[in-house]
Structure 1
Amino acid sequence: MTSSPALPARQIYDASKGGDPGKLILQDGGTTQDGPANNVYENLGIVAGFFQEQFGRQSYDGKNATLKARVHTGPGGNAYWDGLRFNFADGDASKVGDPTAVLDVVGHMYTEAVIQTTAGLELNGQSGALLMSIADVFGVLAKQKHLGQTAEKADWLVGVGLFKDKPDTGLRSIKEPSLYKHPAHMSSYVETYSDNGGVHTNCGIPSRAFYLLATDLGGQAWEAAGKIWYTALTRYASRDTDFEGFAQATAAAAKQLFGDDHVSKVTAAWKSVGVSIG
């Protein structure tokens, strides 16, 4: 019996200690009393393990890159991937909690790094909305896998626990984007110059398509539906892929992996959000 490959190395830095990236306070084999550092170390391991186990991807770049993160980057709930490291703020005293403690937020950031090293989707317009959607999807899938949830039982919310004053809500919904006033169909697509062309708003459209496919297939969403989306991202998508292009990519991935029956289900999911596969 062969053992699973080890998780990629992790290094956590305290950005408040000065310099760039800050002071190294936690790495493999070490300990710290810093709560956010422990949170992000653990959650990065969970997400990296998810990608490794489900898709055979060793670290975000597929080449076992060390996972580097910075905590204490400032007040507020900001979390972002800067092309080199995962960065996490501290929350605030009243409304925003610690983003390092929210598994799907960490998963979203990790997936952004995966996207950068695969399709490289441009953060603008439809390609940018796809980037945000795919990062949401895989962040939530990592959470569902960790909790042992089926597609039918999961809440499909992104960022639950981030807001102290609204503990049961989140940032976005993959199941019902309209809960956060985001469109779930191309007929409501938001044309705007702000937010890089509405990337955090229009992401609800492809996210809803994933939800519809996952629940149509049933069971555990990271299995068939997740593999279709991952294959579409890593083999068929490119920097300027738009919604229609990614729909075509998922259809191609479905045929490659599972055959025509899954292609028809993929096509139906995209059609339900107003995206046709030519």
Structure 2
Amino acid sequence: MLDRLARSDDPDLRASALDALRIDARFRIARAESASRTGGRTTAPVTFARIGGAPNRTIYDQEHGSSQTLGRVVRAEGQPETDDIAATEAYEGLGRTYEYYWSTFQRDSIDGQGRTLHGCVHQGENYPNAFWDGRAMFFGDGDGQMLTRTTAGVDVIGHELTHGVTQYEANLVYSGQSGALNESVSDVFGIQVKQRALGQDVTTSDWLIGADIVGPALQPALRSMKDPGQANPHDDQPATMDDYVPGGDVHTNSGIPNRAFYVLATTLGGNAWDAAGPIWYAALRDARLTPTATFQEFARLTLRNALMIYGQTSSEADAVRGSWEAVQVPL
């Protein structure tokens, strides 16, 4: 999407997109380097070195710098909130994400071992993005056109921290179909963090990613898991393999597995974390999932895990089959 906005006729929008692309290139390199050092499967999803169940968060102020040093500490775990709304939102969003993973999977932080969650607010000057660089989350304040304050989206925070979970599990390579899966997995769990925080089930959720942080150029949201390609005027996501974009950006083709999860969750009903989320999580943690996995390989693992968890004749397994059929990924 940034590539398309960088070709906009609006000079301000074009300049903002180009600035974001330059910063994004740096953080993608940093994340790849971090993944190569620390990537791989956790030996256990639950911490044994501590009791677990409570996050350890530290929030830093980047003071509009563009370096990837953490910055000045403005709030540590248990300290009262400050008058900085971005710091408060980051602290609460990190906590909501931790609570989702602990309550649903008894996973103690992104590494399963109680790792401290670092959040860095006020990244860059009017930077329209948020990212996980392999060790911390960085939040921009937005340019007012593409994005507003990125800490306002709890689904965005859940999305970015899930990149950390993926790094510690399958460590999916950030290109091609494995890269699109990497992005999709972050959307899948980011939307569940949002749904849980707002008390929504699969019928009351809007299934929109980034609805709380988009500016006028990207209204009403960054992505739609229900209707990929329809989130905003610049949305180019395909919804099925018929429209798969060879060589496309990872954020583009992620619409296909996103819709598969939406179909699964809404077919099963209730809360997305009742059955659909655990099936996706089991596939992510499956030792057979390789870093270069294709959509089909991931789809087959979701079915295998559904069969193992719920049984050969279960409605859950049937729903998994139907979800991938809906997006034309063969099992």
TM-score (norm 2): 0.78
Aligned-residue offset at 1:168 = 5.9
CA distance in 2, matches of 1:141, 1:21: 28
Whether 1:189 aligns to 2:247 is no
Question: What is the identity percentage for the equivalent residue pairs of Structure 1 and Structure 2?
Answer: 42
CA distance in 1, matches of 2:253, 2:273: 23
CA distance in 1, matches of 2:260, 2:98: 25
1:211-244 CA-to-partner distances (Å, cap 9, x unmatched) read 1111111111111000000110012422111100
Would the aligned equivalents of 2:53 and 2:102 in 1 still touch at CA under 8 Å?
no
After superposition, residues 1-278 of structure 1 pair within 5 angstroms as 5-16=52-63, 20-31=69-80, 32-74=82-124, 75-165=126-216, 169-179=220-230, 180-192=235-247, 197-235=248-286, 236-260=288-312, 261=314, 262-277=316-331
Would the aligned equivalents of 2:144 and 2:215 in 1 still touch at CA under 8 Å?
no
CA distance in 1, matches of 2:159, 2:210: 10
2:205 aligns to what SS in structure 1?
coil
Would the aligned equivalents of 2:129 and 2:150 in 1 still touch at CA under 8 Å?
yes
CA distance in 2, matches of 1:34, 1:152: 34
Aligned-residue offset at 1:17 = 7.5
**Residues 17, 185 of structure 1: CA spacing in aligned structure 2 closer, same or farther, 3 A cutoff?**
closer
Figure out how many residues of one structure are paired with residues of the other and give that number: 270
CA distance in 2, matches of 1:109, 1:220: 22
CA distance in 2, matches of 1:167, 1:51: 29
Aligned-residue offset at 1:101 = 1.1
Would the aligned equivalents of 1:17 and 1:23 in 2 still touch at CA under 8 Å?
no
In structure 1, the gaps of 5 or more residues are: none
Letter of the 1:264 counterpart: D
Would the aligned equivalents of 1:161 and 1:167 in 2 still touch at CA under 8 Å?
no
1:128 aligns to what SS in structure 2?
helix
TM-score (norm 1): 0.92
Aligned-residue offset at 1:93 = 4.3
Letter of the 1:61 counterpart: D
In structure 2, the gaps of 5 or more residues are: 1-50
| RMSD (CA atoms) | 1.7
Would the aligned equivalents of 2:52 and 2:114 in 1 still touch at CA under 8 Å?
no
CA distance in 1, matches of 2:146, 2:242: 34
